[in-house]
Amino acid sequence: MNTAHVRDFTARKHFFPERPGCVPQVSISALAAGRLYLRGQPDVSYCYMTPNGGTENSSLRSTQWFGATGRSGMTHRSWMRSQGFTPEVFDGRPVIGIATTWSELAPCNVHLHRVAESVKRGVWQAGGFPLEFPAMALGETLLRPTAMLYRNLLAMEAEELMRANPLDGVVLLSGCDKTTPGLLMGAASVDLPAVMVTGGPMLSGKYQGTDVGSGTAVWRFEEDLVAGRMTQEECTFAEGCMARSNGHCMTMGTASTMASMAEALGMQLPYSATWPAVDSRRYETAQRAGQVIVGLVEQDLRPSAIMTRAAFENAIRVNAAIGGSTNAVIHLLAIAGRLGVPLSLEDFDVLARDVPTLLNLQPSGKYLMEDFCYAGGLPAVMRELDEAGLLHADAMTVTGIPIGANVADAPCWNRDVIKPLADPFQPAGTGTAVLRGNLAPAGAVIKQSASSPHLLKHRGQALVFDSPAAYYAVSNDPDLDVDEDTVLVIRYCGPQGYPGMPEVSNVALPKKMLLRGVRDMVRICDGRMSGTAYGTVVLHVSPEAAAGGPLALVRTGDWITLDVPARALTLEVSDEELAARAGQWEPPPPHASRGWTRLYTEHVLQADLGADLDFLVGGSGHEVPRDSH
């Protein structure tokens, strides 16, 4: 691959200032005496037995721990030295936390401990002191009922860890899709200098001589298995062909989307979203991020100065251009809420209407993330938007320069993967659409680029199920009263309802429909859909059924009209009849009497507000807490 488009950001000396050497000359006698003198600096042991006190003439938070006098300072330094650190790490250099969501229970994140080692190299090189710490790993492929139930818990945990520890800046290591917004939400509420490094996508899947995309192929294989076009043995073999390396889904699923959103927001280095997880340049990028964070601390460039309203508008337009996941809507709303940036569901429709889909990538198109990377990555897409006046070029980034300058010279090496604005993959207005109507008073969304064009205007009778399980219990019944015009309604799948708003909305079609050759039907749900999925699926219906929204009042046989061009979702039932049904409705029983699930269901906001917890919206800053000893 020609890598001439990869710019060397370490060449910016103003951003990577020279620092004194970190390994001072030490005399044998000093080592033998157990005392270390730093050349030109006082003996760091001078304060060990003086009364408790703080430090002066330092703006770094970490000096309140490692530069403290008396028992407090001695406690902080001594127990850190049990790890084998020499005393000069406490000389006032920036302490950089590396928040890693590594876990063997989160397959997409399993390589992040190696990424962390690369970050550490960069931090040491720039004169910082790196300290890795674990944050909650959220693997959507294993966690039940859904990783989304725990996104806010990760955000809360990460926020408290950043604030409570002697950190001056943080590098955020994420992978599977909820870990990216979760860490960004936590970092936004603390507002310490931060850089994100996502783990990168897997290598392209290969099956029977063709590329297969993780996630996207699952839905197709499931349909083929039910319809008899694929055997169970073939399906089992294909499982290993889809996921053949470390990394997250290599389609434009939510993980790839949120990695791109982090880069579009300015919180991730250019090209970082697309380097494959196993590519050496993934680790090179991580090392550079370690260098960058030290510069951010010294310049006090914080998330609140980067993730501005302009940055969110950039991200929304980029999401439309790449055919990104509908889940970006709910995550960006939540991140903006932590920063106090005004952002509404309507913004996603208004800002995306003039943006065509430029990226020919599954599930909307043909290619995979590895192809996107080699074609020029996200900067090539953003350059197209910038040159068309669809980008706020002056939005600041973690590189220390505006995003327009970062992408100004970005080349494209494959125009079949990244289309030019003049000849887009799909025309403007085919991104995520926001629907409203008496069935979704607070809004719903649909991914137009992954929908069937002939179903974007549709009228059909509802077939209603109160859970995906209830639907699947009868979906293979040859006598199921359903045809290609039927609107499948799956409800009680929202934030409160499931709980956690799982990715269950794109239920497989009834077997009798698949056997007839039908490949898509309109489905309506208050839950989410994997970004790797496709189909004409109305999502995030708000208010959700469990909160008493109109979706709870739909009955089998009711007529529903979907009109995406008009942004309308209408239940053809009179207001009087809906009021009568509402009087008979009873809320479902609570899911839990204790623990996180109870806290979550009692405080979670609806999807149109980002599904954060009401008491977590906003931030508390990074004031140093009181002494612990």
> Which amino acid is present at 254?
T
Element (H, E) at 373: helix 369-375
**SS3 of 476, please?**
coil
Q: Is 126 among the domain residues?
A: yes
Longest CA pairwise span in the chain (Å) = 91
pLDDT band at 50 (very low <50, low <70, confident <90, very high): very low
Q: Is 427 among the domain residues?
A: no
pLDDT digits (tens, 9 = 90+) for 174-204: 999 999 999 999 999 999 999 999 999 999 9
Cis peptide before 363 (omega within 30 of 0): yes
Token duo for residue 266: 């300015």
pLDDT digits (tens, 9 = 90+) for 310-319: 999 999 999 9
Q: 200 — alpha (psi -120 to 50), left (phi > 0) or beta? A: left
Q: What is the CATH number of the domain that holds 497?
A: 3.50.30.80
- Cα–Cα distances in angstroms (integers) from residue 348 to residues 133, 538, 541, in the given order: 35, 15, 15
Q: Rounded mean pLDDT of 537-542?
A: 98
Look at residues 37, 67, 90 and tell me which one is the last residue of a structural domain.
90
> Which amino acid is present at 439?
L
pLDDT of residue 222: 82
Q: Rounded mean pLDDT of 338-344?
A: 98
Token duo for residue 596: 């996180």
Q: Based on the domain organization, do 300 and 391 belong to the same domain?
A: yes
- Is the pLDDT reported for residue 486 higher than 70? yes
**SS3 of 620, please?**
coil
Number of structural domains found in the chain: 4
pLDDT digits (tens, 9 = 90+) for 268-311: 999 999 999 999 999 999 999 999 999 999 999 999 999 999 99
**Do 133 and 119 meet the contact criterion of CB atoms below 8 Å apart?**
no
Token duo for residue 251: 């389609």
Average pLDDT of the chain, as a whole number? 91
Q: Is 524 among the domain residues?
A: yes
Q: Based on the domain organization, do 183 and 295 belong to the same domain?
A: yes
Beta-carbon neighbour count of residue 413 at 10 Å? 15
Check residue 68 and report its DSSP letter.
Answer: -
Q: Rounded mean pLDDT of 54-68?
A: 81
Q: Is 296 among the domain residues?
A: yes
Q: Is 618 among the domain residues?
A: no
Length of the chain counted residue by residue: 629
Q: Based on the domain organization, do 506 and 469 belong to the same domain?
A: yes
What's the rounded Cα separation, in Å, for the pair 370 and 244? 13
Domain span including residue 221 = 206-238
Cis peptide before 543 (omega within 30 of 0): yes
pLDDT of residue 33: 39
Beta pairing partners, 462: 487
Q: Rounded mean pLDDT of 350-356?
A: 96
- Is the pLDDT reported for residue 49 higher than 90? no
Burial class of 57 by CB neighbour count within 10 A (0 to 12, 13 to 18, 19+):
exposed
Q: Is 622 among the domain residues?
A: no
Q: Based on the domain organization, do 269 and 224 belong to the same domain?
A: no
DSSP result, 322-352: HT--THHHHHHHHHHHHHT----HHHHHHHH
Q: Based on the domain organization, do 220 and 283 belong to the same domain?
A: no
User: SS3 for 248-263, per residue?
Assistant: ECCCCCHHHHHHHHHH
Radius of gyration of the chain (CA): 26
* pTM of this structure: 0.92
Question: Which segment of 10-19, 49-58, 473-482 scores lowest on mean pLDDT?
Answer: 10-19
How big is the CA angle at 198 (ends 237 and 616), to the nearest 5 degrees? Answer: 115
Q: Rounded mean pLDDT of 580-603?
A: 97
- Interacting residues of 558 by C-beta distance below 8 A, sequence separation 6+: 461, 462, 464, 571, 572, 573
Q: Based on the domain organization, do 556 and 466 belong to the same domain?
A: yes
- Which of 201, 429, 394 is CA-nearest to residue 313? 394
Q: Which is it for strands 487-490 and 523-525: parallel, antiparallel or unpaired?
A: parallel
- Cα–Cα distances in angstroms (integers) from residue 341 to residues 303, 333, 338, in the given order: 12, 9, 8
Q: Based on the domain organization, do 486 and 400 belong to the same domain?
A: no
Q: Based on the domain organization, do 377 and 331 belong to the same domain?
A: yes
Q: Based on the domain organization, do 164 and 291 belong to the same domain?
A: yes
pLDDT band at 255 (very low <50, low <70, confident <90, very high): very high
Beta pairing partners, 311: none
What's the rounded Cα separation, in Å, for the pair 5 and 170? 27
pLDDT of residue 200: 97
What's the rounded Cα separation, in Å, for the pair 501 and 207? 32
pLDDT digits (tens, 9 = 90+) for 432-478: 999 999 999 999 999 998 899 999 999 999 999 999 999 999 999 99
Token duo for residue 446: 């649909």
Q: What is the CATH number of the domain that holds 387?
A: 3.40.50.2300
What's the rounded Cα separation, in Å, for the pair 294 and 292? 5
Question: Which segment of 125-134, 525-534, 546-555 scores lowest on mean pLDDT?
Answer: 525-534
**Do 571 and 438 meet the contact criterion of CB atoms below 8 Å apart?**
yes
- Interacting residues of 567 by C-beta distance below 8 A, sequence separation 6+: 349, 433, 434, 435, 436
Between 179-190 and 327-339, two packed helices, what is the crossing angle to 10 degrees?
Answer: 10
Beta pairing partners, 133: 99
pLDDT of residue 397: 98
Q: Is 418 among the domain residues?
A: no
Using the Cα atoms of residue 274, residue 277, residue 280 and residue 283 in order, give the sign of their dihedral: positive
- Which of 198, 246, 22, 10 is CA-nearest to residue 99? 198
User: SS3 for 110-136, per residue?
Assistant: CCHHHHHHHHHHHHHHCCCEEEEEECC
Q: Based on the domain organization, do 455 and 503 belong to the same domain?
A: yes
**Do 289 and 122 meet the contact criterion of CB atoms below 8 Å apart?**
yes
Phi then psi for residue 363, to 5 deg, are -90, -10
Look at residues 181, 216, 238 and tell me which one is the last residue of a structural domain.
238
pLDDT of residue 53: 52
Look at residues 370, 391, 407 and tell me which one is the last residue of a structural domain.
407
Q: Which is it for strands 194-198 and 169-174: parallel, antiparallel or unpaired?
A: parallel
Q: Based on the domain organization, do 233 and 259 belong to the same domain?
A: no
> Which amino acid is present at 348?
F
Q: Based on the domain organization, do 166 and 210 belong to the same domain?
A: no
- Cα–Cα distances in angstroms (integers) from residue 344 to residues 295, 413, 609, in the given order: 33, 36, 7
pLDDT digits (tens, 9 = 90+) for 387-436: 999 999 999 999 999 999 999 999 999 999 999 999 999 999 898 999 99
**SS3 of 277, please?**
coil
Element (H, E) at 436: strand 432-437
Q: Is 426 among the domain residues?
A: no
Token duo for residue 390: 């669809």
**SS3 of 592, please?**
coil
